[in-house]
Amino acid sequence: MDPRGKVALITGGARVGRSVSEALASRGCHVALVYNRSRDVADEAAGRARALGVRALALRADLSAPKGAAAAVDLVRADLGGPDILICMASVYEKVPFGRLDDGAWRASLDVDLSSAFHLARRAAPLMNRAGAGRIVLFADWLPKSGRPRYRGFLPYYVAKAGIVGLAESLALELAPRILVNAIAPGPILKPPGFSARAEAAVRRATPLRRWGGAAEIARAVLFLVETEFVTGECLRVDGGRHLR
């Protein structure tokens, strides 16, 4: 799909989302950024997109509820048209030891990381079908894609991201041939806030490419999955070879 003139709905990804939005805008794609708390980041990204000559908006939505996801798609359609491209990056990433897991922590990850992608796709897919084509890009994680629950304390997150891999495969089958659905499984892309020098060194040692990837690598992967005409049902690891260790 040529993104020029198309409309992309991007959820979450406060830091990486800016690069994805800018990459699409540079190809002439109009963008809508859906945020929950990071309004300033979303507004800034929308401003950068407009500076590249496309239409852009930032809107707030509660994606943990089906109605919030549906409302986000409807608002984008009313303001920009489309959406022709759906990029689901919204995520809850919080360490909670197993002994302190409760229903709230469990549902937070499942609702935002997994269910929101389904609800958004369910609302957007009929619109894409009527337009004749569409692209859906979901976000998993290199660990569940590799079948390696390496870190304790992230059980709901791991399960939700493993579900994303299955959701991408199933949606790809259900929505073919007009809509292509794929997922991206990032590895060490951006250093988390407060990350210690010791922890950073450990990540570099465990990554064959010996560095953090940077947001631009995710943007490149998104562009590939938007522009491809013959890849669907895949989960692309962008992890610098981390899964090999």
CATH number at residue 234: 3.40.50.720
Query: Is residue 235 assigned to a domain?
Result: yes
Query: Is residue 170 assigned to a domain?
Result: yes
How much is the pTM?
Answer: 0.95
Query: Is residue 12 assigned to a domain?
Result: yes
CB atoms under 10 Å from CB of 150, counted, come to 12
Chain centroid, CA 51 distance in Å: 23
Tell me the CA distances in angstroms from 68 to 34, 94, 150, 243, one per residue in order. Answer: 11, 22, 33, 35
Query: Is residue 18 assigned to a domain?
Result: yes
Query: Is residue 117 assigned to a domain?
Result: yes
Query: Is residue 1 assigned to a domain?
Result: no
For residue 31, what pLDDT band results from cuts at 50, 70 and 90?
very high
Per-residue model confidence (pLDDT) at position 149: 81
Tell me the CA distances in angstroms from 197 to 10, 166, 201, 203, 206, one per residue in order. Answer: 32, 35, 6, 10, 14
Query: Is residue 2 assigned to a domain?
Result: no
Structural domains in the chain (count): 1
Per-residue model confidence (pLDDT) at position 221: 98
**What percent of the chain clears pLDDT 70, i.e. is strictly above it?**
100
Per-residue model confidence (pLDDT) at position 148: 79
* Host domain of residue 168: 7-244
Residue 114 pLDDT more than 80? yes
Query: Is residue 23 assigned to a domain?
Result: yes
